[in-house]
Structure 1
Amino acid sequence: MADLEVVEICAGAGGQVLGLEQAGFRHRLAIELDENAATTLSENLEGSRGLLPWSIVQRGDVADPEVWKPSDHEGIALLAGGVPCPPFSVAGKQLGANDERDLFAWAVEQLEFMQPKALLLENVRGLSLPRFTGYRQHVLDRLQEFGYVGEWRLLHASDFGVPQLRPRFVLVALQEEYAPYFHWPEPAGEAPTVGEALLELMSANGWEGARKWAKKADKIGPTIVGGSKKHGGADLGPTRAKRAWAQLGVDALGVADEAPKAGDTFEIGPKLTCEMVARIQGWRDGEWIFTGRKTSRYRQIGNAFPPPVARAVGEAISGALKKRGKPREREVPEEDPIYRVLRDHGDFMTATQLAAKLNLEAPELEHRMTLLGRDFHIEKADGDSTVAYKLGAFKAFTGQDDHERHELFLQHRAKIS
């Protein structure tokens, strides 16, 4: 297992790339749709200062067989990725399986063709909410069918030395041979405050207020929001986030071109530069080059998986693949009870039967059926006194040639990020 190769999908600008490289993995391939982010990857992985000597960055839609063929990478150590977040984000409509940007279920299906020893997928906290319990259970079911043991865990970047909260919902799955040896990484200690992390950069142009500012910015920062091409420009997030940044003396309405200069004064405080945002995301100065204009660079940085978190999870996966440590019992995953009952029954069940079996009142049952119906086709049959339900197909794109995702993707490609 000395050669820990990884294929990474939806690689973005390389936060997970860098973290996995630092954990001992080597990228065979990194696929990214956004041209600017792909250029950043190429600059760091293939350029004169690159980590690897051959071309590994592929540009385009990761689900397009003309871009790459998963079956060409059968038996690789790790399939990893940060598939698009908007389908699950609480800031969006949480369309889940009905969002043309959703590639989570598709990524899981690639295990059938690639048979990697491990899978790592990360997404926003929204995927951990009750709204997606059925979606998550379907993913775990598919993993089991492919011979993998999967677990979810909400990880906070601040537990790994990153000066922001940034919760990320992480799925790790391993072949049954390796799964007992996987242990989630333990917190690495107290993270620096925003002021501690940025004092050097804030002082770079001789601003006299830097030390006073750093004392005010004495907390962990809110989650950096990179945003999408569909909405807005480069700023640090929605109204609530802007208020939280203001309390730290940061003007979150935009991103600065350079650090404040001698004599500068501010009503709220200075804006952050892209370099400062990268520091808050866990990048160290000089270890990664971001290409493109300011707004693009900010989005690349803001949408990334913090490298220290990726490294910690990567090291845990590496340890499992090398069978280090003591085996452990797997965690029992939370299940959507309605999904489980309908899945196991396999036929129509009346609302009365479901309510009695699950000890649910009619309004709660109807609410949960509505949530489940957002990600699954639910067949309904009206009886004399009650309605009956049957669990149908999963709505998500998993590779179907006739799925509506293809047309919607082409329509919105310029705004997908």
Structure 2
Amino acid sequence: MRAIDLFSGPGGLSLGLKRAGFSVIANVELNKDAMATYVSHDVTSEHYNQDIQSVSFTRYRGKVDLLAGGPPCQPFSIGGLRKSSSDSRDMIPEYIRCLREVQPAAFIMENVPGLTLKRTRPYFEWALAQLAACGYFINWALLSASDYGVPQKRKRLFVLGCKHKTLRFPAPTHGLEAGVPHVTAFSVLGVDPIGDAPNSSVFFAKSPDTRPSPYAGHVFNGGGRPLDPNGPCHTILASSGGNKTHWIDTLNIVPEYHAHLMAGGAPRAGVVPGARRLSVEECALIQTFPEGFCFSGTRSAQYKQVGDAVPPDLAFAIAGAVHSQLAGHTTPKLIDPHFETPITQGELLLCHGM
């Protein structure tokens, strides 16, 4: 089966698609560094390093089984202004245009959970209706990467569409429901540093905001969080490279300081002893990129590529379920969809997941 990867970044989604059995014949990515990374591991497909609005996809009509991709998430992220369709970076209409031009058997669209929340929910529902109007049964779900073997608590929205049936999502392979412990970040990284850590110190927060877990809340400066030695880490951010880079507590300061604060102790000041920020290579491993995978561009450009990418292992889980259903093969356990009120386009049904 052949696929196209839109807004491909460095190729996290494509890596999962290929492992699942798809042949990626083309990708579109505007960022030159991300495209250079993509080309370094894929020299056979057609590469469009340009604005997607300038690309016609009519030549692929009838030649592609799957359209995949994650339009830029900034218009919908809770960390931004969430201007939705009024944000010039909103490329969901372009994704819909490409789908209409290519008319593949199925599609996968990825984005942030913020798209489903109250402020942008009307736009999300409009997008679902437009996708369905292209001739597809629609199913969507909010999935956590940690439930599919990724050592990271990264939640993302996925929308699936198919011409002839409602595609279902793969059931979790890790966590309470699966009966298999989540993969920890430390089990992937090991004990020795990998790559060069950024020169950004970690400071005690002036006004710490504690949570029951020592590894939650805002006890230290910036958006970077200490890694929990017994579980997945927080979401790897595209803005990593400075104080938003997660870090390793090499001297076991975090649990001791948390207990100190919970007992009513006064906040400390200054640099946290033994705190080491994660390198690009370590962030990439937590994202489940293959060991030794190289990213192009400056260090900040590399961090951005890693943080923006779909984790390859998560992509593989979803793409594998889609590939099996399209091929009519016996599939691993799937999540049953929950159907809502039918929409107006003939027999197409709009449904959503968890």
Distance across 2 between alignment mates of 1:93 and 1:188: 34
1:271 corresponds to 2:258? no
Distance 1:146 1:154, change over 3 A: same
Deviation at 1:114, TM superposition (A): 1.0
Distance across 2 between alignment mates of 1:195 and 1:328: 29
1:235 corresponds in structure 2 to 242
2:50 corresponds in structure 1 to 60
1:221 corresponds in structure 2 to 233
1:174 corresponds in structure 2 to 162
Distance 1:73 1:295, change over 3 A: same
Report if aligned partners of 2:253, 2:273 keep a CA contact under 8 Å in 1.
no
Which residue, out of 57, 69, 91, partners 2:79?
91
Where structure 2 has 5 or more consecutive residues not aligned to the other structure, the ranges are: 175-180, 197-225, 255-270, 345-354
From the CA coordinates, give the structure whose radius of gyration is larger.
1
1:187 corresponds in structure 2 to 172
2:38 corresponds in structure 1 to 41
Report if aligned partners of 1:250, 1:271 keep a CA contact under 8 Å in 2.
no
2:352 corresponds in structure 1 to none
Report the TM-score, using the length of structure 1 for normalisation: 0.63
Deviations 1:333-385 (A, max 9, x none): 489xxxx9xx9xxxxxxxxxxxxxxxxxxxxxxxxxxxxxxxxxxxxxxxxxx
1:123 corresponds to 2:111? yes
Deviation at 1:110, TM superposition (A): 2.4
Distance 1:63 1:188, change over 3 A: same
Deviations 1:6-54 (A, max 9, x none): 11111001110111111111111011000000000111101xxxxxxx3
- Structure 1 runs of 4+ off > 6 angstroms? 244-251, 326-329
Deviation at 1:120, TM superposition (A): 0.8
Distance across 1 between alignment mates of 2:190 and 2:87: 41
1:197 corresponds to 2:188? yes
Distance 1:329 1:298, change over 3 A: closer
Distance 1:216 1:331, change over 3 A: closer
Report if aligned partners of 1:224, 1:236 keep a CA contact under 8 Å in 2.
no
1:71 corresponds in structure 2 to 58
1:283 corresponds to 2:295? no
- Could you say which structure has the higher helix fraction? 1
SS at match of 1:318: helix
Which residue, out of 10, 13, 25, partners 1:28?
25
Where structure 1 has 5 or more consecutive residues not aligned to the other structure, the ranges are: 47-53, 206-213, 228-232, 252-264, 344-417
Distance across 2 between alignment mates of 1:293 and 1:81: 24
Distance across 1 between alignment mates of 2:195 and 2:19: 28
Deviation at 1:235, TM superposition (A): 3.4
1:146 corresponds in structure 2 to 134
1:49 corresponds in structure 2 to none
- Could you say which structure has the higher strand fraction? 2
Deviation at 1:119, TM superposition (A): 1.1
Report if aligned partners of 2:250, 2:275 keep a CA contact under 8 Å in 1.
no
Paired residue total = 291
SS at match of 2:25: strand
Report the TM-score, using the length of structure 2 for normalisation: 0.74
| AA matched with 2:170 | P
Distance across 2 between alignment mates of 1:137 and 1:122: 15
